[in-house]
Amino acid sequence: VLMDLHAGQIQGYFDIPVDHLSAIKHLAEYFKTLNLEDVVVVSPDLGGVTRARNFANELDAPIAIIEKRRPKPNVSEVMNVIGDVEGKTCILVDDIIDTAGTICHAAEYLTEKGGAKKVYGCATHGVLSGPAVERLISSKLEEFVITDTIPLNIGNVTDKIKVVSIADQLAKAIERIHNNESISSIFD
């Protein structure tokens, strides 16, 4: 049982059955509770457009895409925003946050050059290595929401980072697999 693979093709490397789950619905449910207005879901790169579209469908919101380049590892530069973000509340959605450089640069670009009113961020997997927590705390992000796929050791450092549990989804999948039942209902 896997959660939000970075690339779906990874499933092909297993010689056992693989069930690939997604945290998109859990993350979207959190944002629905905030009652945000004029929301635009933003993909931080071209590779995350499908993820952003799925998230946007859950919120009934349009999407925008950040065009970026990586001049060297763990360094990203925003080149352009495709879509309308001016005066909007943006939600950046990603699968993995390692050093948080990309999402923090994207939030800065959206507010300072894109004219976004507010920017939130979310991701499934929070590696949060090196300066990630400090970057998130000092970023333009209103909040950063992460799931509990990777245990976080940040304690009560900040209220800016929220954790959404996907334990119930994993438990349902494991139970259904154990009982030889279909897990397709989990995706509905």
- The answer to whether residue 68 is catalytic is yes
Q: Which of 25, 32, 68, 160 is catalytic?
A: 68
Measuring CA to CA, which residue among 168, 110, 175 is closest to residue 141? 110
In whole angstroms, give the CA distance from residue 170 to residue 74: 30
Query: Token pair of 48, please?
Result: 């995350």
Q: Where are the beta strands (DSSP E) in the chain?
A: 2-3, 20-21, 39-43, 63-72, 75-82, 89-97, 118-126, 144-147, 161-164
Q: HSE of 151 in the Cβ direction (CA atoms, 13 Å)?
A: 1
Q: Tokens 């009113």, residue?
A: 117
Q: Which residues are catalytic?
A: 68
